[in-house]
Structure 1
Amino acid sequence: MELGIVWLVRVAWIAAILPMLIASIPNSKLTSFHQLVLGFARRGKILQPSLSSQKWTLPQKHFAHFYVLGVAWTTLLLAATWMYAFKMTPFHHWFEVWRAVFLLVLMEIQVLRRLIESFYVFKYSPSARMSILGYLAGLFFYTAAPLSLCVNIAPELIGAAVFLWGWLHQRRCHAILGSLRESPSQAREYIIPHGDWFEIVSSPHYLAEIVLYAGLLIASGGTDVTIWLLFGFVVGNLTLAAGETHRWYLRKFENYPANRNAIFPFAY
């Protein structure tokens, strides 16, 4: 894959590792930072009661979300890389591509086992919580880890897989919105939408469009500044629109789900 996306993934890993390295330095001036980083890592029985507020923590059973994401994302990448390996691999590129396929197969075995364990082996206490930032770190890991195993392979197919994921979710969300006014009696009525990504954000069709354009960015290799500017406009425009939509929902419906964010889960 072109250097743009490769370096983006590398910078993301460095940004994730750096706080842990700084927190591990034995310096009294870094005690507060050390405690802050540990606070994000604590969960379950080792999470301090003072951090266990509903606002900044989530049920520990949400660990299953990591593995659902991991299985879905690894499967998409594996399918794209496998297709490239069978149909389009230049001979001089053969070993590198099949090595990526092998690594993704191993990753798939791992995340599948973890998913099964999260449903059938681990029984989390109803009171067990984890930090919201720890949760976001888990989502980051199971997005970045499979991608790191094949980041140098077939950017077009990997980008196409991301594009298809966003495209399918946008189609589902548009179908949900359309179903709210199927009968003439509902033409002037506003209803809270439910289903698919509507369970976590107010404008999932906008989120899906951002994912879709992220797929185009990945497929391009990430080295063209013009495409980055295109992506930046899409993100900025849809984020502003989603914020307005979210505030309208909150004003319109007293019983609007409190767990929903505007467009980015657990962030905005």
Structure 2
Amino acid sequence: MEVGLAGLLRTAWIASILPILLASVPCLSSRLSSFYNGLMVFAGRGKIMQCSSQKFSVPQKFFSHFYAGPVAWTTLLLVTTWMYAYNMAQLTGHSTQSSHIISVWRSVFLLLLMEVQVLRRLFETLYVFNYCSTARLHIVRYLIGYFFCYTLAPILCYNHAQEVYKFSVTGIAKFLFQGNTSVQAYDLSEFVIPFLKLGWLQWTGAAIFSWGWIHQRNCHKILGSLRKNKEQKNVYVIPYGDWFELIVSSPHYLSEIVMYVGFVVASGGSDLTVWLLLGFVVSNLTFAAAETHRWYLQKFKNYRNNRCSILPLCADNLNK
């Protein structure tokens, strides 16, 4: 069953990556122009959204849905997996040397990283970005972003879904039907100490993740400050500061990629599904960054012609 679920998820990621890759290959762009234009319709959002897509769109402030649901979902997974890991440690005499127990604690660690990300993004959507009333995104992009990027992401964080599910169901059943009124004392240190026994890959991945996380926060703060009034329609300013000084148009996308690289490293790099998740993030954000960069060049005559779309110090044909 687990193999079937993994295969289904991997097929879904591959099916999402391939259209973006085909539309991004320069030598195929002329032959697949209609396919590219169709993809652009579905990928439309905000300033790069085509007028023909407006009737199949939702307000861009719906981005809060991307994170409100996943915050609750990720929190549920984090708490149940954390409790399961703690319970396993108690049953094995506080031993954390077992490879299986270490794997469970690694899953908790990955879910904790995901929790930090979705919490910040929910806060930014509500309090940092000032979406004007006319800003919209295509319904297809909305659904893909909601289900693929954040609802499924926590599921890919760990390989102990069945164990955690059985543990949770058993615990709920005991509480409901056995009337267990005893209060169990918890040693809070036992919830934290096992993290210190994780390997260098986990902490290296966390450092990479944190590096990208901090800079994405800074870049989003810069972008949010450009429009202080939500009703300033079609008022755009060239952003400067932080990673925008790396001479890229979309450093907030670059920092997102950095975070997912850290996520893959922290996972140990042995799960193909997590690599495919990274592949989707890279292809999707690179495509979006290229369109954003093209829009900047058309919108601002004084736009830096040495800026690239997403990778610093990388020649970009869009500048020519």
CA distance in 2, matches of 1:8, 1:83: 28
Q: Is the 8 A contact 2:77 2:154 kept in 1?
A: yes
Q: Return closer, same or farther for 1:5/1:160 CA change in 2, 3 Å cut-off.
A: farther
Q: Is the 8 A contact 2:111 2:154 kept in 1?
A: yes
TM-superposed deviation, 1:158: 4.2
Letter in 2 for 1:154: A
Structure 2 match to 1:167? none
The structure that has the greater radius of gyration is 2
TM-superposed deviation, 1:8: 2.1
Q: Return closer, same or farther for 1:138/1:59 CA change in 2, 3 Å cut-off.
A: same
TM-superposed deviation, 1:95: 1.9
CA distance in 1, matches of 2:16, 2:166: 23
The structure 1 residue matched to 2:129, chosen from 122, 127, 142, is: 122
Structure 1 match to 2:217? none
Letter in 2 for 1:110: Q
CA distance in 2, matches of 1:159, 1:12: 26
Is 1:100 the counterpart of 2:107? The answer is: yes
TM-superposed deviation, 1:161: 7.0
Structure 2 match to 1:142? 150
Q: Runs of 4 or more off by more than 2 Å in structure 1? A: 88-92, 156-162
Q: Return closer, same or farther for 1:154/1:43 CA change in 2, 3 Å cut-off.
A: closer
TM-superposed deviation, 1:145: 1.1
CA distance in 2, matches of 1:95, 1:32: 50
Q: Is the 8 A contact 1:58 1:131 kept in 2?
A: yes
Q: Return closer, same or farther for 1:18/1:30 CA change in 2, 3 Å cut-off.
A: same
Letter in 1 for 2:74: T
Task: Quote the sequence identity (%).
Answer: 54
CA distance in 1, matches of 2:152, 2:168: 15
Letter in 2 for 1:148: L
Structure 1 stretches lacking a partner, 5+ long: 163-268
CA distance in 1, matches of 2:53, 2:43: 12
Is 1:48 the counterpart of 2:47? The answer is: no
TM-superposed deviation, 1:157: 2.4
Structure 2 match to 1:36? 38
Letter in 2 for 1:46: I
Bigger CA drift: 77-86 or 63-72? 77-86
Any idea what SS the aligned residue of 1:58 has? strand
Structure 2 match to 1:61? 61
Relative to the length of structure 2, the TM-score reads 0.46
Any idea what SS the aligned residue of 2:58 has? strand
Written as runs of structure 1 = structure 2, the 5 A alignment for 1:115-264 is 115-140=122-147, 141-150=149-158, 152-158=159-165
TM-superposed deviation, 1:159: 7.6
Q: Is the 8 A contact 1:40 1:131 kept in 2?
A: yes
Relative to the length of structure 1, the TM-score reads 0.55
Q: Is the 8 A contact 2:43 2:141 kept in 1?
A: yes
Any idea what SS the aligned residue of 1:130 has? strand
TM-superposed deviation, 1:92: 2.8
Structure 1 match to 2:81? 81
TM-superposed deviation, 1:86: 1.2
Q: Return closer, same or farther for 1:121/1:106 CA change in 2, 3 Å cut-off.
A: same
Letter in 2 for 1:142: Y
TM-superposed deviation, 1:156: 4.0
TM-superposed deviation, 1:67: 0.4
Q: Is the 8 A contact 2:45 2:138 kept in 1?
A: yes
CA distance in 2, matches of 1:158, 1:30: 45
Q: Is the 8 A contact 2:88 2:101 kept in 1?
A: no
TM-superposed deviation, 1:160: 7.9
